Amino acid sequence: MAENTKYIFVTGGVLSSLGKGLASAAIGMLLESRGLSVTIQKLDPYINVDPGTMNPFQHGEVYVTDDGTETDLDLGHYERFTNAKLGKDNNFTTGKIYHQVITKERRGEYLGGTVQVIPHITDEIKQSICLVANATDVVIVEIGGTIGDIESLPFLEAIRQFKADVGASNVIYIHLTLVPYIKTACEVKTKPTQHSVKELRSIGIQPDILLCRTESFLSQDIKKKIALFCNVEPEAVFTAKDVDCIYEVPLVYNKEGLGDVILKKLNIWARAPRLDEWREMVEKFKNPRFSVTIAIVGKYVDLTESYKSLNEALTHGGISNEAKVNLQFVDSTTLTRENVDKVMSTCNGILVPGGFGSRGIEGKILAAKYARENKIPYFGICLGMQMAVIEIARNLAGLEDANGEEFNPHTPHPVIYLMKEWVDEQTQQVEKRDETSDKGGTMRLGAYPCMLEPDTFAHKAYKTEAISERHRHRYEFNNEYKDRLVKAGLIISGSSPDHELVEIVELKDHPWFLGCQFHPEFKSKPRDPHPLFREFIKASLKNARE
């Protein structure tokens, strides 16, 4: 545990999806703007060890860090809003905590004692929090779930104890709650907040700061009423107002004076916030000069949380081009030769994102074909790259039955296949896998190097020869078909340093057609848009004007 490190614990009440992740990220951004170093951790109450095998419909996207950890999507918010470098120690679940405790018990580390929630589980949780402290000024810890849920109790007990462990002057609790506006009565109601804080206090945690999620700024009278019933100072009650753009959240908090109160309660001296660059970015988002429509062809389109990082990266690309990006979600299972012209007629660019499984595959291949034939900018990410390769193999290279082994294990032309043996660049160990391997343990995960070819879309975007990007996939480009596909017009513009793994493909004689095996959306930030998203939006804008 680092000396002089301060800790902020963020909890949520009343109902889920209030925005604890965004609140934590925004607080981190505000503290960084004052010159402080920050890291953010998410403690999730579900029993899965990680979200890697969870359906996106249930949990939203799986975010991947540089070290290859599959994490909660809130870590994406943390990295987009701050400069924090996150990894395996920044996301712990109930499953991960219990797994570690049970492993220790099996090894006999508890010396035959009875293993219990208190102190063993709570001690493990506290140790997980200490792992991310290092030399960081402030550690922000978001507790998943809602106050009152039985699943969250061990985490809440652990953070209650934590204050006594590190000293009361080093810890504050921030509680995000809901203050609904009842339209028929024309007034806001504070009772949900009162009950939520009462529940929190009943387990021994007194919040120091309240963030009240509501539609408009709260009056001083309402803040005083909340303060009175929740046992906090009126100046520690803040409006977490709904905003049009999530990147406005830190600006709203700053306007309310949240940063000043946090520093005061933690006894930290720091400079005034420097937010000019952030304000300029938000201004570009809110007042775009241009407009562009991007079709996202996938199978999780009914729940946009499934593509959270992707949607944000497209927004970042729009900001850098002073353009509003309109997203047109297309269910790939409904796309056919008969309706593709009608469905795609209004889009300026086509993006096929990552995914798993065979459902909707032919629709995605059809989208890649439509983009190629109609000279519409195309961006294929992970599975989207594989769809483009299959389409080119079938329609340009003469391999009519070409497919990927994931979708048809018996295809005569597996242009995308399961690599049975490969060297992990990070550990230098030989990894082996086959169709029966565990789904969560056989993927290429995390950051891998890639070398770019000159005079390609990729090289022009990155403006460098060597890059590193994050991966999350099982199947690879089959090098046995490389020469035939290249002869048909495919360009291999990015490969692993040993040229064994194809990372980026492009097409000749096309305004902008690119597929990458990695997930560039995981490294995009609003103030530093990812080069590929920036160039994809630029090409789509050009297409919109023509």
- Domain membership of residue 446 (yes or no) is no
pLDDT given for residue 355 in this prediction: 81
pLDDT at 267 over 90: yes
Q: How confident is the model at residue 141 (pLDDT cuts 50, 70, 90)?
A: very high
Q: What band does 421 get if pLDDT is binned at 50, 70 and 90?
A: low
Beta strand ranges found along 497-542 (DSSP E): 502-507, 513-516
Q: Are residues 175 and 30 in the same domain?
A: yes
The active-site residue out of 32, 256, 521, 535 is 521
Instruction: Give the angle 242-62-244 at the CA atoms, nearest 5°.
Output: 15
Domain boundary among 280, 299, 315: 280
Q: Is the pLDDT of residue 25 over 90?
A: yes
Report the pLDDT averaged over residues 15-42.
95
Phi, psi of 211, deg, nearest 5: -105, 115
**pLDDT-based confidence at residue 429 (cuts at 50, 70, 90):** low
Q: What does the pLDDT read at residue 439?
A: 44
Q: Are residues 249 and 160 in the same domain?
A: yes
| Residue 519 annotated to the active site | yes
* Measured distance CA(335)–CA(296) in Å, rounded: 12
| pLDDT per position as a tens digit, 486-531 | 999 999 999 999 999 999 999 989 999 999 999 999 999 999 999 9
Query: Do residues 394 and 534 both lie within one domain?
Result: yes
Q: Is 135 a domain residue?
A: yes
pLDDT at 307: 83
User: Do residues 484 and 540 both lie within one domain?
Assistant: yes
Q: What is the pLDDT of residue 61?
A: 83
Tell me the one-letter amino acid at 239.
T
Tokens in use for 311? 């949607």
**Of 307 and 377, the one with more pLDDT:** 377
- The predicted-structure confidence for 317-369, as pLDDT tens digits, reads as follows 999 999 999 999 999 999 999 999 999 999 999 999 988 777 889 999 999 99
Distance in angstroms (rounded) separating the CA atoms of residues 165 and 487 = 66
- Which structural domain range is residue 106 located in? 6-280
CB 193 within 8 A of CB 212: yes
On whether residue 63 sits in a domain, the answer given is: yes
Which residue of the set 175, 471, 519, 530 is catalytic? 519
Assigned domain for 12 exists:
yes
CA–CA distance, 215 with 26 (Å, rounded to integer) = 18
Calculate mean pLDDT across residues 226-239. 96
**C-alpha R_g of the chain:** 25
Determine, yes or no, domain membership for 265: yes
3-state SS class at 280: helix
Provide the pLDDT for residue 299.
78
Q: Is residue 535, in this structure, part of any structural domain at all?
A: yes
167: left (phi over 0), alpha (psi -120 to 50) or beta: left
Task: For residues 231 and 92, state if they share a domain.
Answer: yes
For residue 133 the two structure tokens come to 């402290």
Q: Is 503 a catalytic residue?
A: no
* Distance, CA of 380 to CA of 516 (rounded, Å): 6
Dump pLDDT digits (tens) for 148-195: 899 999 999 999 999 999 999 999 999 999 999 988 888 899 999 999
Domain match, 251 and 356 both: no
Q: Are residues 262 and 308 in the same domain?
A: no
Q: Is 17 helix (H, G, I), strand (E, B) or coil?
A: coil
Same domain, 220 and 312: no
- Token look-up 């560039």 returns 520
- Cα separation, 140 vs 62, in Å, equals 21
In a domain, 471, yes or no: no
Q: 530 and 321 in contact (C-beta within 8 Å)?
A: no
What is the average per-residue pLDDT within 230-256? 95
- The pLDDT of residue 315 is 96
Using the predicted structure, report yes or no on whether residue 296 has a pLDDT greater than 50. Answer: yes
Contact indicator for 214, 243 with CB cutoff of 8 Å:
no
Q: What is the CATH number of the domain that holds 272?
A: 3.40.50.300
Distances (CA, A) of 519 to 29, 50, 252: 24, 19, 31
pLDDT of 441 over the 70 cut: no
Burial class (CB in 10 A: 0-12, 13-18, 19+), 52: middle
Statement to judge: residues 388 and 530 lie in one domain: yes
Number of H helices, E strands in the chain: 18, 25
Confidence band for 303, pLDDT divided at 50, 70 and 90: low
Q: Is the predicted pLDDT of residue 49 greater than 50, yes or no?
A: yes
On whether residue 182 sits in a domain, the answer given is yes
Per-residue confidence (pLDDT) for residue 15, from 0 to 100: 87
Residue 542's alpha-carbon distances to 75, 290, 293, 374, 511, in angstroms, are 33, 11, 12, 14, 9
CATH number at residue 487: 3.40.50.880
**Of 222, 254, 280, which one is at a domain's C-terminal end?**
280
Note whether 214 and 338 are same-domain residues: no
What pLDDT, on a 0 to 100 scale, did the predictor assign at position 302?
Answer: 63
pLDDT above 70 (res 434): no
**What whole-number percentage of the chain has pLDDT above 70?**
93
How many Å apart are CA 469 and CA 452, to the nearest integer? 12
pLDDT class of 440 with cuts at 50, 70, 90 = very low
Number of domains comprising the chain: 2
Q: Is 521 a catalytic residue?
A: yes
- Residues 389 and 361: their CA atoms lie apart, in Å, by 13
Q: Report whether 42 contacts 201 (CB < 8 A).
A: no
Same domain, 134 and 213: yes
**Residues 199, 206 contacting (CB under 8 angstroms):** no
Q: Which stretches of 257-402 are DSSP H helices?
A: 258-266, 276-286, 308-320, 340-344, 361-373, 383-395
Q: How far is CA 387 from CA 366, 369, 505, in A?
A: 9, 9, 11
Domain end, chosen from 280, 302, 325, is at 280
Do 269 and 347 have their domain in common?
no
CA distance 450 to 524: 17
Contacts of 306 (CB under 8 A, 6+ apart): 56, 57, 60, 61, 298, 300
Q: Is the pLDDT of residue 423 over 70?
A: no
Question: What is the SS3 assignment for 18?
Answer: coil
Say whether pLDDT at 391 is over 50.
Answer: yes
- Which among 212, 230, 347, 382 is annotated as catalytic? 382
Has residue 393 got a pLDDT over 90?
yes
Surface-to-core class of residue 326, CB atoms within 10 Å of its CB (0-12 exposed, 13-18 middle, 19+ buried): middle
The length of the chain is: 546
| Contact yes or no for 483/348 (Cβ under 8 A) | no
